[in-house]
C-alpha cells in the first residue's frame, strides 16, 4: 500500500487496489464443467453480444476451496437495460442497485453491472445517495472491472473468472486470503460497514461457513458500529437471519453474534434475558435448538423457520405474559394472547418475520399450554394438529435443556405416541381425574327425564 493509500485508509476512504494477479487456467484448476450450464449460457451470450462477462465472487471462491457453489453470479459491463435486451427471460430488480435476473425454470442467474466510484452526480449513470450515517441508499453507479473490484466487500469475493481467456483475475489478494483462511474487508472497515451495516453479519457468516477467522482490522469496528443494524429494513434482516440460521452453522453464528454485540440488535428482548441469566436453562435451550437445527440441515432434513423464531421469542413471551398477569390482573389465557401479539409486534421492528412463519410460531406456543389437557378425546385431537410434531419437539427441547417440571408430561406424551390405539385409550383412561381439562361434567337436561338415547348411553357406560 502506498503512503497515499495508507492515508486514505486512515481517513476512512476506500483504498485503490493494485493491478490484478492473473492466474491462468493451468494454475487454478477450475473447469467449465463445474459451472451451471445456464451460467455458461449467460456468459457466452453476453460475450457474443460484445460485452465483457465474468463469474464473480462466491462461486469462484467456493470452487477454489473445493466446494460446490449454490449460486453462480455474473458481472458485466452491459447495463441492466442492455442485459434485458439480450435475454427474453430477464427481469430487472432492485432500487439500491439494479440487477438483472435471468430465469431458467427454478434456477436464477444474477447479472450485475460493474460498479464504479461515486462522483459528483454529473452523469446519468452516476446516481448514488447515502444517508447521514454513510449508508448507501441508492448505488446505481456503473464503471469498469477495476472499479468494481474496489467496490466488492471482502478480498475473497474480489475474484473474477473470465469466459474470454479462462483466467482468474485476483484484485485484492483473495487467493492468498483463502490460503490463510482470513476474512478481510477491502478498504477502510469502518467506512465499508457504514456503507452497508449488513457486511458485519456477512463477515460472521463467511467466517463460520468457510471455517475462517476474521482479521483483527475487519473485526475491530463491529462492536462499535453494531447499532447501525437499526438502519437496515427489518425485511432484509429477516433474510440475513435465514442465511445465518439455516446454513448448517447456526450455533457458531449465534455465538459469534453474541460475542460481537450484534444479536441484541436482532433479538433485543432475548439478548437481555440471556445477559441476565448466563449459563442458564434459557441459554442452554437456545444453543441446543441451534445444534439440533444444524444437525437436521446437515442431514438434509427439513427445518421450518417457524420453529426457530418460536424458540427465539419463547422466553420474552413467557416474561411478557407474567408481567401482564401481575400488572393488569389478566387471566393466563388472555395474558398469553396479548403477550403473543405484543412480542411479535415488537420483534418485527427489528426482524420482519413473514406471517406464514409467525402463525406457525403461535401454533407451537399454543400447543405448549394444551399438552396437559389429555382427557377424553383431547389427546388424540391434539396429536392430529398440523403443528403437533413441532410443538412436541419444542417440549422435548425444553426438558432436555433443564425444565424438569415438564419431564413427567413429556414422558407421558412420548409413551402415548409410541403406543397403538388400544394402548393410547388405556393411557387416557388411566389418567382419571388427574389430567387438567379432562372434560367438563355433562349438564342434565331440564325436566328431570332423559331421552332414550341418553339413557342407553348411561346404562352402557
Catalytic positions, written as ranges: 71, 73, 153
* DSSP assignment letter at 249: -
Q: How many CB atoms lie within 10 A of CB 30?
A: 18
Q: Is 167 exposed, middle or buried (0-12, 13-18, 19+ CB in 10 A)?
A: buried
Residues 6+ apart with CB under 8 A from 357: 304, 305, 306, 309
Contact 368/391 with Cβ under 8 angstroms? yes
Instruction: Report the distance separating Cα 205 and Cα 188, nearest Å.
Output: 20
Within its chain, how far is the Cα of 115 from the centroid? 27
Q: What residues pair up with 99 in beta bridges, in sequence order?
A: 93, 112
- The H or E element containing residue 405 is none
381-393 as b/e: b if 16+ CB within 10 A: ebeeeebbebbbe
Strands 73-76 and 107-113, sheet pairing: parallel
Q: In which region does residue 289 sit, left (phi positive, over 0), alpha (psi from -120 to 50) or beta (all else)? A: alpha
Amino acid at each position: 500500500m502506498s503512503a497515499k493509500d495508507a492515508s486514505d485508509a486512515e481517513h476512512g476512504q476506500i483504498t485503490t487496489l493494485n493491478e490484478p494477479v492473473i492466474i491462468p487456467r493451468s494454475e487454478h484448476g477450475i473447469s467449465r464443467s463445474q459451472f451451471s450450464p445456464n451460467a455458461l449460457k449467460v456468459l457466452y451470450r453476453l460475450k457474443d453480444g460484445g460485452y465483457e462477462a465474468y463469474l464473480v465472487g462466491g462461486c469462484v471462491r467456493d470452487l477454489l476451496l473445493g466446494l460446490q457453489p449454490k449460486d453462480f453470479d455474473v458481472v458485466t459491463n452491459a447495463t441492466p437495460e442492455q442485459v434485458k435486451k439480450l435475454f427474453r427471460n430477464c427481469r430487472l430488480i432492485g432500487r439500491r442497485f439494479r440487477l438483472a435476473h435471468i430465469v431458467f425454470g427454478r434456477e436464477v442467474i444474477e447479472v450485475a453491472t460493474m460498479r464504479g466510484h461515486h462522483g459528483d452526480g454529473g452523469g446519468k449513470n452516476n446516481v448514488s445517495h447515502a444517508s447521514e450515517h454513510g449508508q448507501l441508499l441508492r448505488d446505481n453507479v456503473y464503471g469498469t472491472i477495476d472499479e468494481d473490484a474496489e467496490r466488492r466487500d471482502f478480498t475473497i469475493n474480489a475474484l473474477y473468472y473470465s469466459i474470454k481467456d479462462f483466467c482468474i483475475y485476483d484484485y485484492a489478494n483473495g487467493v492468498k486470503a483463502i490460503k490463510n483462511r482470513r476474512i478481510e474487508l477491502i478498504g477502510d472497515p469502518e467506512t465499508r460497514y457504514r456503507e452497508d451495516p449488513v457486511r458485519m453479519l456477512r463477515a460472521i457468516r463467511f467466517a463460520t461457513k468457510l471455517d475462517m477467522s476474521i482479521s483483527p482490522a475487519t473485526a475491530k469496528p463491529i462492536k462499535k458500529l453494531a447499532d447501525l443494524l437499526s438502519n437496515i429494513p427489518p425485511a432484509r434482516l429477516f433474510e440475513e437471519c435465514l442465511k445465518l440460521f439455516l446454513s448448517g452453522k447456526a450455533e457458531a453464528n449465534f455465538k459469534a453474534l453474541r460475542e460481537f454485540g450484534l444479536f441484541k440488535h436482532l433479538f433485543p428482548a432475548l439478548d437481555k434475558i440471556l445477559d441476565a441469566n448466563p449459563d442458564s436453562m434459557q441459554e442452554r435451550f437456545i444453543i441446543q435448538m441451534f445444534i439440533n437445527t444444524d444437525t437436521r440441515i446437515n442431514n438434509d432434513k427439513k427445518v421450518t423457520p417457524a420453529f426457530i423464531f418460536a424458540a427465539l421469542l419463547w422466553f420474552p413471551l413467557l416474561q411478557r405474559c407474567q408481567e401482564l398477569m401481575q400488572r393488569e390482573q389478566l387471566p393466563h389465557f388472555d395474558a398469553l394472547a396479548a403477550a403473543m401479539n405484543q412480542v411479535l409486534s415488537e420483534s418485527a421492528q427489528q426482524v420482519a418475520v413473514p406471517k406464514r412463519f409467525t402463525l406457525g410460531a403461535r401454533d407451537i406456543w399454543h400447543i405448549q399450554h394444551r399438552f396437559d389437557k389429555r382427557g377424553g378425546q383431547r389427546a388424540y385431537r391434539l396429536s392430529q394438529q398440523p403443528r403437533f410434531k413441532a410443538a412436541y419437539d419444542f417440549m422435548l427441547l425444553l426438558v432436555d435443556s433443564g425444565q424438569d417440571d415438564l419431564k413427567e408430561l413429556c414422558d407421558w406424551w412420548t409413551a402415548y405416541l409410541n403406543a397403538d390405539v388400544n394402548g393410547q385409550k388405556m393411557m387416557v383412561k388411566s389418567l382419571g381425574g388427574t389430567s387438567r381439562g379432562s372434560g367438563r361434567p355433562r349438564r342434565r337436561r331440564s325436566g328431570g327425564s332423559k331421552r332414550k338415547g341418553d339413557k342407553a348411553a348411561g346404562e352402557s357406560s
